[in-house]
Amino acid sequence: MYTIYPILLNHKKYRDMKTIFITGASSGIGKATAKLFQAKGWKVIATMRTPENETELTALENVSILPLDVTNDAQIQSTAQSAIASGNIDVVLNNAGHGLFGPLEAVSGEQILKQVNTNFLGPLKVIQAFIPYFREKKSGLFINTTSMAGLTGFPLSSVYNSTKWALEGLSECLSIELSMFGIGVKTVSPDATKTNLFSSADVVAHPLYDDVIKKMIGRIQQTGEAINIAEVIFEAATDGKDQLRYPAGGAAKQIYARRLDIGPEASRIETTKWFLGL
């Protein structure tokens, strides 16, 4: 059911098209990116945990669906190999992600493992699976969806932020390490965007933090549109620039620019006052 047809896809018409491989394409930013790249004339390999539920992307020409849970090591290997066997891949977008919000002392070990496995180790292993392929063809681009939470500290999302900081750090290291093989690495860090991220997140409470949580809810709104983040991902994929970070959306650009402007210590103090409403 999920087979890509290698003979068909090796036809010249299809060989000349660029291809993006996307994780977490079932909703939100991943799905918007799949649709945008398809509309721009790319082939799209859209991966997701439950391909059997997908109806929109399956109706689009040049979009293939493959199963991928990024916490499943064996499936990362088999899906990467199926994708590579189907033809040329130009961009791998690590987009799949999950939210975990609440005070650290209330978060369970299981929730922490799920967060780290989904948001950090998953993308890391997907990258590992594609490096030899990109190295051999001396080209290829990894784009990792991080977050403005990966560029600064926030209260009550310490584990989520940590996974995104880790992915930013991994991306910066690999942008240096893989440059010798002609492989690029970029990050796109969205601001709060209208997707399922918050509604599907694990949210934990603790009575001592209730006042802070109320203040935060009043201050963080998912106002951005997924299509705008997809457009930044398209820019990162096609601008040919040797640039690592692409903050996406007004708040992400503003927060990152302010941090660079005043430095991380002053930024931390300013962020504390802003979040706590001081």
Ligand X SMILES: NC(=O)c1ccc[n+]([C@@H]2O[C@H](COP(=O)([O-])OP(=O)(O)OC[C@H]3O[C@@H](n4cnc5c(N)ncnc54)[C@H](OP(=O)(O)O)[C@@H]3O)[C@@H](O)[C@H]2O)c1
Q: Which residues contact 268 (CB under 8 A, 6 or more apart)?
A: 153
Q: Of 20, 22, 30, 187, which lies in the binding site for ligand X, with binding defined by CB under 6 A?
A: 30
Nearer to ligand X, 43 or 98 (CB): 98
Q: How far apart are CA 23 and CA 5, in angstroms?
A: 20
**Beta-strand runs (E) in the chain:** 19-22, 43-48, 63-67, 91-94, 100-101, 141-145, 184-190, 202-203, 245-248
Q: How far apart are CA 40 and CA 30, in angstroms?
A: 15
256 has catalytic annotation: no
Q: How far apart are CA 88 and CA 10, in angstroms?
A: 9
CB of 10 to ligand X, least distance (A): 28
Per the CB < 8 A criterion, the answer to whether 101 and 157 are in contact is yes
Does position 159 bind ligand X by CB under 6 A? no
State the catalytic residue, choosing from 2, 160, 209, 246: 160
State the number of binding residues for ligand X (CB under 6 A). Answer: 29
Per the CB < 8 A criterion, the answer to whether 98 and 115 are in contact is yes
Residues 80-99, one symbol each (x = binds ligand X by CB under 6 A, - = not), give ---------------xxxx-
CB of 197 to ligand X, least distance (A): 4
Residues 104-133, one symbol each (x = binds ligand X by CB under 6 A, - = not), give --------------x---------------
Does position 144 bind ligand X by CB under 6 A? no
Q: Of 10, 81, 139, 200, which lies in the binding site for ligand X, with binding defined by CB under 6 A?
A: 200
| Tokens at 113, concatenated | 């493992």
The residues assigned a catalytic role are 160
Residues that bind ligand X (CB under 6 A): 23-24, 26-30, 48-50, 68-71, 95-98, 118, 145, 147, 190, 192-193, 195-197, 200, 222
